Amino acid sequence: MLPADALARKVYSPAVEKGEAEIGYLLDYSVNTDPARNAGARHQFEYELGVTDRWLTAVYGDFRKNPGQKFTWQGVKWENVYVLTKPGEQWLDAGLYLEYFRPRAGLNLPDALEFKLLLEKESGGLTHTANLILTKELGRNALPHVIAGYAWRSKWRWRREIEPAIELYGGLGDVSQTLVPSRQSQQAGIVLLGKLHGGFSYEIGYLFGLTPVTDKGMLKFIIGYEL
């Protein structure tokens, strides 16, 4: 598995607000009937800043707890979002995402580079967002593969405080030899998200595994606070 995890359970929108700074916490918690796979967790702590009205940059601390192991710091991620078309400017909003993962010394993990094409379209009261993902390991111990994946969200803009959504996540394998569907990581679930008074935002949901190699279930939780 790539350390930068092309299936981070967050859908990125091609929208940036200049000058907006935010701190956040992200949790992915796996649920499985197999004790050897149950209760794996990924914790991420972030600080992000809208540098301009087109560029957002963020730094993440990545922590993980694998089943039967201790909670450990994995490394640091630096991510950037660049807006290609401002919201509503074209028929389809678009942006680019670039992330660099640097593992903690001593883990013998490779660095990793992740690229995403961000696409978004509003239709009536719905907002549809797609992330097309490519991930490549770099440096020592790196595998030669380029891994493809995707993330999708269809959100109902009901109220600012509560927006129900359906999210899909998939890992398709090496682009040169895509895995058969039963060997792909595929998840789908219901998520609630919104912005609250006082600068808080949240996302909470449960994702169901759709293939034998995917976690049976996963709790997703994100909370942010605008500074």
- Mean pLDDT taken over the chain: 91
**What are the domain boundaries of the chain?**
21-226
Beta bridge pairs of residue 41? 29, 65
Q: What is the pLDDT of residue 6?
A: 44
pLDDT value, residue 211:
92
> What pTM was estimated for this model as a whole?
0.91
Confidence of residue 3 (pLDDT cuts 50, 70, 90): very low
Burial class for 34, CB neighbours closer than 10 Å (0-12, 13-18, 19+)? exposed
Express each pLDDT in 168-220 by its tens digit: 999 998 998 877 888 899 999 999 999 999 999 999 999 999 998 888 999 99
Q: Which amino acid is at 40?
A: G
**Going by CATH, does the domain composed of 21-226 fall within 2.40.160.40?**
yes
Res. 87 pLDDT band, cuts 50 70 90: confident
Instruction: Note the residue count of the chain.
Output: 227
β-pair partners for 47: 23, 59
Mean pLDDT of 64-80: 86
- Check pLDDT > 70 for residue 36: no
Residue for token pair 């976690």: 215
Distance between first and last Cα of the chain: 34
